[in-house]
Amino acid sequence: MRGCFTHVELNSGYSRGAQLVLPGGVDSGSDTYYTNALPASGDFSQPLLCVGFSADVNEQYTFNKCFGNRTYTYAFGHDPNRSVITVDMLGFLVDGFSYSGVMDIVLDAYREHRVSESKDYAMLALGASQPMRGFIVGVSTNTLDPKHSLQMFKFKLAMPGVM
């Protein structure tokens, strides 16, 4: 058997503590079940895990040096062009003996829900914490472990508002 997809405990609730909820993926009857998320809510066969995230929130500002060794600071508030969330996902290219199709899952999600295609926010849901919201502006991928057919995906979300 190739890959390590079947060796990761995906059937426990702990493996789905974080999800990237795509635009239009919030179930109005529940605040914890998402209808359009990566990895999918309740679908433990999907070959994808959210394994980390980072958030960069920045201000717009400038410092002006003046005569007499004085420095003036001008602050303009939140800078949406430099404030991003990066969501790290581990994809399993092989599911037991067959290919998993994880590359299509991720690229289709990007194509359908990027900022030029959707006016709605995506959300990073983190357990019981308030979700972080942003627009999907990019996705990148790199091979993490070729021996075990592991691929890393990074979704980039721009945050026009403060978290």
Which tens digits make up the pLDDT trace of 59-114? Answer: 999 999 998 889 999 999 989 888 999 999 988 887 666 677 888 889 999 999 99
Which tens digits make up the pLDDT trace of 24-67? Answer: 766 555 555 567 788 776 666 678 888 889 999 899 999 999 98
CATH of the domain at 90: 2.40.30.200
- The answer as to whether 163 is a domain residue is no
CB 152 within 8 A of CB 141: yes
Q: Which domain holds residue 30?
A: 5-158
Calculate Rg over the CA atoms of the chain. 19
Nearest-CA neighbor of 134 among 103, 106, 162?
162
Q: Enter the DSSP assignment of 157.
A: E
* Tally of domains in the chain: 1
What's the pTM value of the predicted model, to 2 decimals? 0.77
- The answer as to whether 114 is a domain residue is yes
CB 64 within 8 A of CB 160: no
